[in-house]
Amino acid sequence: MKTLKGIQTDTYTLEDLAGPLNDVEKKFAPKKIYVAGTLPIPLPGPRSAVIGSRKASPEGIKASVDITRTLVKAGVVVVSGLAEGIDTSAHKTAIDEGGNTIAVLGTPLNRFYPQKNLQLQQIIMRHHLAISQFPIGYPIQPKNFVIRNRLMALISDASIIVEARDSSGSLHQGWEALRLGRPLFIRRSIVNDKSLKWPKTMLEYGALELRNPEEILDFLPLSGRILKVAQ
């Protein structure tokens, strides 16, 4: 166990964090995961990723707030990638609603991207959990953020795409969730957006249309170990 500017950090395997893995999960799991925060290990559950566009619309932000509130009320840990837009909204809403959140970083734990989320990342590292598969000193590259989407899919029992264009990085996580056999939800208004090609394709591969946030709860292991941490 180490400290990073007064923040407790440690190194684990994915099995340490999420429990036993099947052969497919083992194939895609990173060898080491660097962790900063106060959530217990193994991680409390259930866990659902709430992800989407960095340049989110007002409608998308409102939807992410509504979805996150529903998850927190049911005791679900909210997972996201600490990017601008939908990710930031999900983390902040989970914290504001008294829930727990996990940030999966595309940078080492001692780096902050975007810089405007420095304070939010520090809050998560002190009172929730931030995880990264990139060790201190690892160079920051665009591909790292695609790689971290795989880890986010691996630790989440389900993933929800709130809003995304055809070129959005969130689609990488969507495909990873489907590859792993995890539930993937796409918000209904996005499914109905005729300008987008990806929702129809993902639905053909098993994604689910999300009409009401409470539908997610039917696909989560709510009988699992749920922890409420006082903020």
Task: Label residue 73 exposed, middle or buried (CB < 10 Å: 0-12, 13-18, 19+).
Answer: middle
Q: Is residue 194 part of a domain?
A: yes
Q: Is residue 187 part of a domain?
A: yes
DSSP 2-47: EEETTEEEEEE-HHHHH----HHHHHH--S-EEEEESS-SSPPS-E
Q: Is residue 228 part of a domain?
A: no
Whether 229 shows a pLDDT value over 70: the answer reads no
Q: What is the average per-residue pLDDT within 50-66? A: 96
**143 vs 163: CA distance, rounded Å:** 21
Q: Is residue 177 part of a domain?
A: yes
pLDDT, tens digit, 9 for 90 and up, residues 19-51 = 999 999 998 899 999 999 999 999 999 999 999
Q: Which two tokens stand for residue 166?
A: 């055809």
Q: Which two tokens stand for residue 89?
A: 């909204």
pLDDT band at 197 (very low <50, low <70, confident <90, very high): very high
Q: Is residue 192 part of a domain?
A: yes
How many structural domains are present in the chain?
1
pLDDT, tens digit, 9 for 90 and up, residues 101-136 = 999 999 999 999 999 999 999 999 999 999 999 999
Instruction: Specify whether the CB–CB gap between 121 and 103 falls below 8 A.
Output: yes
pLDDT band at 66 (very low <50, low <70, confident <90, very high): very high
Q: List, in sequence order, every residue forming a beta bridge with 158; answer none if it has no partner.
A: 48
Q: Is residue 100 part of a domain?
A: yes
Q: Is residue 227 part of a domain?
A: no
- Give the CATH number for residue 157: 3.40.50.450
Domain boundaries, position 206: 2-219
Closest to 170 (Cα-Cα) out of 86, 66, 77: 86
Q: Is residue 113 part of a domain?
A: yes
